[in-house]
């Protein structure tokens, strides 16, 4: 292709983005103007994709980590033939358009992940590269290479300033993810100023210290240099690569190299001047020369051919390895294999019981052999979260003889390992599992203490926004964890996490509810699921006496009821406090009080039930309702009503043994009984 045509393609992309921002009177023109050349070289010469099938499993992944540059991505998607029209481009940032302010997964074809909060995208890309490495190691066979693609991310200063990027890059370097390539738009300017006042470290040296290959391109407009850098990046298969491209924010505009080019339209006059400077027709807006469009759209034929070749390989693989192929295809479709849950144990009634984290570990290990897509790990807390899949290998570069192998779940160290070791990097863990889920082929989980969900709230929220099926396993879910004290004891976390839309939070009450919670977690589609689990043992309820644990599926259910179903008072609890209300109910019944006991492991599941079910569990006529949960009482009045009462935790915890904590904070049978009686008195008073 001629240089002139290359340039015309780049300028088309540039000015589509500029015109989008100008028409919307909102958005970020600076990055598209400077990053268009690198994006164009990548997309036209390196990226493997089929615009007509954005879901093709073996496509390269492209992440615009600097999501504020969304206009660049939409211009690329349009030019390269995705299902996006020029009208969509004109509707940038408008109600119900396919070109929202920041890229949204499942909203615009070709958008791999939702980005905008800086730093998340690069960490998502690490997760995608991990998923690729794992699936390749598990499913490719000699002569049959089915999974073989790269992950590219375009990252900005802001991305690299965020801590999550450091966590993720550090892990990627350790893991030697050679198919991860990041293009760093090194333009010396961020939103409010030049980076000289905030960000002056040697970024290349920093990434080399993480174990990355770094490649510097002195002029981000030099297409040959970009091409060479990408070739060099691809050639190193043992290290991730960071290509640092020196660019100029708002290239060609009067605001070039100024933060003013960053976050607002250039303005009519400056748009004109920029077009003149780069020798682009000032009218009409949204100009797309035919030859530029045709040149970019060659990607459609190229992509279709590549996918066809892959399809032939897939069929050969399926003939040679039918079982393996079927397994992979099912995982890629996001389907659970028949009988995946057949070995989930039923836990016997036991007054002493077991911690729900313990039960969770047993359930996970019963599922793992039958559900190949299940993969995950913890942020350096495996012994506490009980989330290791025993014997299923540890995801790491193959161990060299003599290397320290402590911490192994067994089954060998290689990219085929299903146990991921995140290190103490909660924030990256959240973003990495998002990237893995977005990649497809896995159902990833991440685990830590519930308190440290605070370190990973941004990716939890993004998983919910972008409908990603990930499972969070958060243990040590209350003050009852004991001696570690207030820094480790969650108080407001449940309330806080419950406020996130499209997230299913389940706090199971005993071992059998935990088993059902895992079933729900894995059957769920299109949303993240969070399990809050106890550190301490809780009684395993006798399900002959109490209702079946399957009631968890409906969010809340009646465990035991007053005679004839006419309670004077309803006791409601979640998680570890269920055993407490069960014991209190026995005592109250002994005193002749009609009590209903409700286990309420999930507000989200309950709220999704028809009104009839909700009223059947919590009849509006019964005003004496007492909720018991070792967390912030915030929100519980929705279920206990104005007349009801809540035993919760409204101050920080303290360092003491768990039982002592529970006693001091009122989580005793005596207190539940006393508060229930007081409540009855109040609600009966004329």
Ligand X SMILES: Cc1ncc(C[n+]2csc(CCOP(=O)(O)OP(=O)(O)O)c2C)c(N)n1
Q: Tell me the closest approach of the beta carbon of residue 649 to ligand X, in angstroms.
A: 30
Choices 78-86, 151-159, 389-397, 424-432; region in contact with ligand X by CB under 6 A: 151-159
- Among candidate residues 655, 629, 649, the one with its CA nearest the CA of residue 640: 629
Q: What's the distance, Cα to Cα, between the start and end of the chain in Å? A: 88
Beta bridge partners of 141: 144
Chain centroid offset of residue 494 CA: 18
Q: Is 262 in the site for ligand X (CB under 6 A)?
A: yes
- Among residues 12, 124, 151, 190, the one that binds ligand X under rule CB under 6 A: 190
- Beta strands, E only, 295-342: none
Instruction: Determine contact, residues 244/214, Cβ cutoff 8 Å.
Output: yes
Q: How far apart are CA 121 and CA 112, in angstroms?
A: 10
Q: Is 558 in the site for ligand X (CB under 6 A)?
A: no
User: Burial of 318 by CB count in 10 Å (0-12 exposed, 13-18 middle, 19+ buried)?
Assistant: middle
| Window 642-671: contact mask with ligand X (x via CB under 6 A) | ------------------------------
- Among residues 11, 132, 157, 341, the one that binds ligand X under rule CB under 6 A: 157
> What is the CA angle 359-364-366, rounded to 5?
95
Q: Tell me the closest approach of the beta carbon of residue 564 to ligand X, in angstroms.
A: 57
Looking only at the bridges linking them, the beta strands covering 537-540 and 595-599 are unpaired
Q: How far apart are CA 248 and CA 649, in angstroms?
A: 53
Residue closer to ligand X (CB basis): 72 or 180: 72
Q: Identify whether 587 is preceded by a cis peptide bond (ω within 30 of 0).
A: no
Choices 157-165, 232-240, 568-576, 659-667; region in contact with ligand X by CB under 6 A: 157-165
Q: Is 426 a catalytic residue?
A: yes
Q: Is 14 in the site for ligand X (CB under 6 A)?
A: no
Q: How far apart are CA 157 and CA 377, in angstroms?
A: 30
Both structure tokens of 58: 């073996």
Instruction: Determine contact, residues 27/20, Cβ cutoff 8 Å.
Output: yes
Q: How far apart are CA 254 and CA 264, in angstroms?
A: 13
Q: How far apart are CA 138 and CA 220, in angstroms?
A: 38
Q: Is 288 in the site for ligand X (CB under 6 A)?
A: no
Q: Tell me the closest approach of the beta carbon of residue 131 to ligand X, in angstroms.
A: 24
Q: Tell me the closest approach of the beta carbon of residue 73 to ligand X, in angstroms.
A: 13
How many residues sit close enough to ligand X to count as binding (CB under 6 A)? Answer: 19
Q: What is the DSSP letter of 447?
A: E
Taking CB under 6 A as the criterion, which residues in 25-44 touch ligand X? 28, 30-31
Q: Tell me the closest approach of the beta carbon of residue 7 to ligand X, in angstroms.
A: 22
Question: Coil, strand, or helix at residue 532?
Answer: strand
Q: How far apart are CA 604 and CA 670, in angstroms?
A: 30
Q: Tell me the closest approach of the beta carbon of residue 436 to ligand X, in angstroms.
A: 21
| Window 79-118: contact mask with ligand X (x via CB under 6 A) | -------------------------------------xxx
State the residue number with the nearest CB to ligand X. 158
Q: How far apart are CA 623 and CA 618, in angstroms?
A: 9
Residue closer to ligand X (CB basis): 187 or 365: 187
Residue closer to ligand X (CB basis): 68 or 467: 68
Q: What is the DSSP letter of 44?
A: I
Residue closer to ligand X (CB basis): 185 or 382: 185
Hunting for tokens 């941004």 — which residue is that? 458
Residue closer to ligand X (CB basis): 46 or 199: 199
Residue closer to ligand X (CB basis): 466 or 534: 466
Both structure tokens of 525: 């589609």
- Among residues 20, 33, 66, 646, the one that binds ligand X under rule CB under 6 A: 66
| Window 226-255: contact mask with ligand X (x via CB under 6 A) | -----------------------x------
- The region that residue 592 occupies, defined by phi over 0 for left and psi between -120 and 50 for alpha, beta otherwise, is left
Q: Is 121 in the site for ligand X (CB under 6 A)?
A: no
- Beta strands, E only, 250-356: 350-355
Active-site residue, selected from the candidate residues 426, 513, 577, 629: 426
Q: Tell me the closest approach of the beta carbon of residue 70 to ligand X, in angstroms.
A: 11
- Among residues 172, 189, 363, 595, the one that binds ligand X under rule CB under 6 A: 189
Q: Is 465 in the site for ligand X (CB under 6 A)?
A: no
- Among candidate residues 542, 534, 541, 571, the one with its CA nearest the CA of residue 662: 534
Residue closer to ligand X (CB basis): 121 or 648: 121
Q: Is 185 in the site for ligand X (CB under 6 A)?
A: yes
Choices 183-191, 432-440, 568-576, 637-645; region in contact with ligand X by CB under 6 A: 183-191
Beta bridge partners of 471: 445, 529
Q: Tell me the closest approach of the beta carbon of residue 461 to ligand X, in angstroms.
A: 12
Q: Tell me the closest approach of the beta carbon of residue 162 to ligand X, in angstroms.
A: 6
Beta bridge partners of 181: 152, 241
Q: Is 186 in the site for ligand X (CB under 6 A)?
A: no
Q: Tell me the closest approach of the beta carbon of residue 192 to ligand X, in angstroms.
A: 7
Residue closer to ligand X (CB basis): 121 or 653: 121
Hunting for tokens 């309702």 — which residue is that? 625
Residues classed as catalytic: 426
Binding site for ligand X (CB under 6 A): 28, 30-31, 66, 68, 116-118, 156-158, 162, 185, 187, 189-191, 249, 262
């Amino acid at each position: 292709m001629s240089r002139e045509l290359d340039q015309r393609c780049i300028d088309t992309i540039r000015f589509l983005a500029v015109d989008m921002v100008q028409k919307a009177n909102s958005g970020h023109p600076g990055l598209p103007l400077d990053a268009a050349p690198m994006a164009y070289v990548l997309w036209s010469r390196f990226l493997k994709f089929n615009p007509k099938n954005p879901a093709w499993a073996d496509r390269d992944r492209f992440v615009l980590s600097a999501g504020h540059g969304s206009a660049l991505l939409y211009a690329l998607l349009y030019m390269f033939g995705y299902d996006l029209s020029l009208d969509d481009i004109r509707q940038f940032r408008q109600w119900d358009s396919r070109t929202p302010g920041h890229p949204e997964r499942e909203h615009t074809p070709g958008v791999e992940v939702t980005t905008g909060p800086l730093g998340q995208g690069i960490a998502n890309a690490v997760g995608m590269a991990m998923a690729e490495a794992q699936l390749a190691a598990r499913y490719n066979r000699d002569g049959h290479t089915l999974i073989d693609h790269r992950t590219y991310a375009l990252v900005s200063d802001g991305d690299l300033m965020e801590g999550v990027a450091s966590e993720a890059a550090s892990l990627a370097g350790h893991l030697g993810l050679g198919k991860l390539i990041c293009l760093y738009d090194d333009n010396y300017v961020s939103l409010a100023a030049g980076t000289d006042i905030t960000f002056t470290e040697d970024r290349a040296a920093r990434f080399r210290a993480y174990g990355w290959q770094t490649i510097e391109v002195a002029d981000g407009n030099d297409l040959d240099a970009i091409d060479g850098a990408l070739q060099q990046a691809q050639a190193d298969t043992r290290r991730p690569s960071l290509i640092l491209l020196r660019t100029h924010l708002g290239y060609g505009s009067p605001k070039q190299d100024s933060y003013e080019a960053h976050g607002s339209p250039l303005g009519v006059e400056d748009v004109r001047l920029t077009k003149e400077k780069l020798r682009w027709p000032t009218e009409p807006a949204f100009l797309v020369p035919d030859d530029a469009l045709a040149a970019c759209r060659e990607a459609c034929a190229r992509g279709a051919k590549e996918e066809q070749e892959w399809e032939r390989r897939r069929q050969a693989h399926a003939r040679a390895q039918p079982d393996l192929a079927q397994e992979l295809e099912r995982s890629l479709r996001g389907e659970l294999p028949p009988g995946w849950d057949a070995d989930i144990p039923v836990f016997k009634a036991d007054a002493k019981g077991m911690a729900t984290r313990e039960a969770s570990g047993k359930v996970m290990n019963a599922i793992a052999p039958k559900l190949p897509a299940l993969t995950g790990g913890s942020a350096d807390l495996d012994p506490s979260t009980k989330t290791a899949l025993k014997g299923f290998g540890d995801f790491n570069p193959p161990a060299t003889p003599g290397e320290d192998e402590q911490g192994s779940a067994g089954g060998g160290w290689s990219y085929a390992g299903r146990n991921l070791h995140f290190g103490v990097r909660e924030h990256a863990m959240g973003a990495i599992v998002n990237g893995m889920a977005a990649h497809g082929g896995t159902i990833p989980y991440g685990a830590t203490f519930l308190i440290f969900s605070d370190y990973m709230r941004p990716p939890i929220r993004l998983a919910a926004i972008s409908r990603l099926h990930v499972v969070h396993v958060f243990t040590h879910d209350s003050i009852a964890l004991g001696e570690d004290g207030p820094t480790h004891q969650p108080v407001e976390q449940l309330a806080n996490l419950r406020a996130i839309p499209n997230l299913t939070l389940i706090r199971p009450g005993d071992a059998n509810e935990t088993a059902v919670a895992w079933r729900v977690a894995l059957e769920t589609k299109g949303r993240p699921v969070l399990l809050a689990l106890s550190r301490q043992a809780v009684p395993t309820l006798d399900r002959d006496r109490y209702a079946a644990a399957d009631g968890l599926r409906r969010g809340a259910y009646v465990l035991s009821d007053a005679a004839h179903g006419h309670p004077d008072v309803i006791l409601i609890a979640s998680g570890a406090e269920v055993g407490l209300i069960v014991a209190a109910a026995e005592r109250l019944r002994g005193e002749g009080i009609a009590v209903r006991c409700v286990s309420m492991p999930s507000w989200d599941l309950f709220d999704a039930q028809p009104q009839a079910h909700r009223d059947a569990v919590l009849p509006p006529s019964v005003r004496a309702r007492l909720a018991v949960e070792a967390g912030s009482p915030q929100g519980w009045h929705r279920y206990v009503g104005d007349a009801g009462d809540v035993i919760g935790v409204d101050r920080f915890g303290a360092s003491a043994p768990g039982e002592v904590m529970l006693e001091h904070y009122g989580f005793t049978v005596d207190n539940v009984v006393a508060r229930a009686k007081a409540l009855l008195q109040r609600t009966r008073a004329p």
